[in-house]
Structure 1
Amino acid sequence: MSRSRAPLGWAVIAWLMCLAVPAWSQWRPKDTEWPTYTADLAGSKYRPFDQINASNFNKLEIAWRFKTDNLGTRPEYKLEGTPLMVNGVIYTTGGTRRAVVALDAKTGELIWMHSMREGLRAAISPRQLSGRGLAFWSDGKGDDRVIYVTTGYRLVELNARNGQVIQSFGKDGIVDLKLGMVTGSGQQIDLEKGEAGLHAAPTVVNDVV
């Protein structure tokens, strides 16, 4: 198998750009929310919070903790993802199985958890652990969704309210990102052992992943 990374990378980008989700409508996040990996689509990594400033920063205390030890086959030794916060709910990936959890932002209480068991495909993946995070999408009318990529390189769309897979997305809520990927000789890569993965968080722009 060819191990050239550049052509594969551009093929993945082109494929992801073709995955459309329903219309975004007029939904806009509040200034107090963190709806995407870098805070906003401009990548500012900033929100205009006025409750926390240089004068009171040293008085902040831990409100609650959430351990991800049981979200996989073993405890994860590092967490690199950026949680999202929308409508008082924190969404994040965690654990060696890259589970998705929804937590009450005030109390830390677990609202729901989604996890896929992908067997060998995930066990030998070049992009393991919890990854960088996920994406959030809303039509502004109550249809809220969470999108992430599994360690086995599948794109999954979930109902943000209950964690259930959105059946109308892809095939039963899942798009296998390895399908259509080829080796240097033009052959379909092995769906179980083919070296392909994603550590980054997906991004939704103008209703396109």
Structure 2
Amino acid sequence: MSESNERTAIVTGASRGIGAVVAARLAADGFAVVVNYSRDSTPAEALARELEGAGRRALPLKADVADPEAVRYLFDAAEATFGGVDVLVNNAGVMTMTSIAETDDATFERQVAVNLRGTFNTLREASRRLRAGGRIINFSSSTVGLRQPLYGVYVATKAAVEALTSVLAKELRDRSITVNAVAPGPTATDLFLKTSRRR
């Protein structure tokens, strides 16, 4: 980590679900936290107020990770507000369950844009701007190993994230930056519950 006690984490998709829990835990551990969201500001701002009420530092920030310019802005704002970035948690993701035969172009493109391109965009920016000794954590999924029907495109994007993780870990080791992926199983988040109800 940085020599200063002021450590900063960016958590993508942090307004709800797993991302919100991760952001809260990092804040409890003393990190200033950038609470990234892509659409509705209300839950992100509520989380930031809650963290600030507990004496933590938090910045709700809108940025679509699929857009490279938005990702650059995300890091710019984190650096301007908190002085630098030490941790990136790639949590933002979308999942649509459909058979490969029935997957339309829009469904394919949306999942690739957020899950894969979005992760690539943040990894590229972090690899240039994270302070030495930093940490990158990417969210994959247990579905990569299970390879169940209806998860085809989602699994493909997450498998690609795991590949990027392994490569970037080797590229950044000289700066003592670790890059890891975690693969949660079924978790009672809005993303999982809404998708399950559509099955």
Larger Rg: 1
Q: TM-score normalised to the size of structure 1?
A: 0.27
Q: TM-score normalised to the size of structure 2?
A: 0.28
Structure with greater proportional strand content: 1
